Amino acid sequence: MKIVYMGTPQFAVLPLRALAAAGHSILAVVTRTDKPAGRGKVLTPPAVKLAAGELGIPVLQPKRVRDPEFVSTLRSYGPEAIVVAAYGQILPKEVLALPLNGCINIHASLLPAYRGAAPINWAILRGERETGITIMQMDEGMDTGAVFLQERVPIDPADTAGTLAEKLSVLGAKMVVTALPLIGSGKLPPVQQDHARATPAPPLKKEDGRIDWARTAQEIHDRVRGLAPWPGAYTFLDGRLIKLTGTGVAEGSGEPALIRRSGDGALEVGTGGGLLRVLSLQPEGKKAMTAAEFLRGHRVEGKKFEALISKS
């Protein structure tokens, strides 16, 4: 099938490679513009752009996908399908109606659950025990189109958003290769979603990472996992930001935000329910370190992390 592929982050790389390996004619790859990254703010290309370069596929990087000039360029390729994976912009009706087989999205949740830009993160943040991949027909709504195919995967208790994204990328690559020829032949009819069961997965902001110590230890642990690697879960101690990079949950109780040493070199922090074990952390301006390394240079017994008034 003649395809235009649209995607941006690492999650979208494996499906692109899989479609190329399956023999589809990938006419062009559309991705977001290069962005400054790292402390040096070096202009960095998206992961999909790098992969497309390795595969010898032309790359388009429009600022706005609805610009008439870009839509005209897209039309000139004459794709039979547009395959989308975490591209990062909502497609206008002019693009949706362009290919014979429509625009087909690889979405990282079990729709209608977690519609939006950050489904992997929010599934972990909400304590879900499973998620999956949905291959869907795109429409003008936010992940509201009909479903072609779904597969479930368990969320491991140790999964972070980063590790879960890797698993779902592998699954998405397999599923889109299976689904595409069936869609083209009409053998995989789309099924409408139950919109009444929809839940949102809005974009993440840095402020989402700030820890509310009045929440339970399990909720805070899920926040640490769900926001790794970005934007990260953080708190403040003595006025300085500390990012929590590895945590666990322990039985017991303590005053919310109150810090104490555990017997095995970790930190234990009181919460609104249970104790949060801090196994690794990253103080502001320093590299990540274990709790034991942190304790060698800091007296924390009896101190409290800065509290945050819960909003929900």
Task: Give the CATH number of the domain where residue 60 resides.
Answer: 3.40.50.170
The domain boundary, picked from 154, 177, 197, lies at 197
How many structural domains are present in the chain?
Answer: 2
Q: Which of 163, 197, 231 is the last residue of a domain?
A: 197
Write out the chain's pLDDT in tens, 312 residues: 999 999 999 999 999 999 999 999 999 999 999 999 877 889 999 999 999 999 999 999 999 999 999 999 999 999 999 999 999 999 999 999 999 999 999 999 999 999 999 999 999 999 999 999 999 999 999 999 999 999 999 999 999 999 999 999 999 999 999 999 999 999 999 999 999 999 999 999 999 999 999 999 999 999 999 999 999 999 999 999 999 999 999 999 999 999 999 888 889 999 999 999 999 999 999 999 999 999 998 889 889 999 775 444
Buried/exposed code over 278-288 (b: 16+ C-beta within 10 A; e: otherwise): bbbbbbeeeee
Q: What residues make up the domain containing 101?
A: 2-197
State if pTM tops 0.85. yes
- What are the C-alpha distances in Å from 269 to residues 171, 235, 242? 37, 12, 14
Residue 140: is it exposed, middle or buried by C-beta count within 10 angstroms (0-12/13-18/19+)?
exposed
- State the Cα angle at 275 between 273 and 281, rounded to 5°: 130
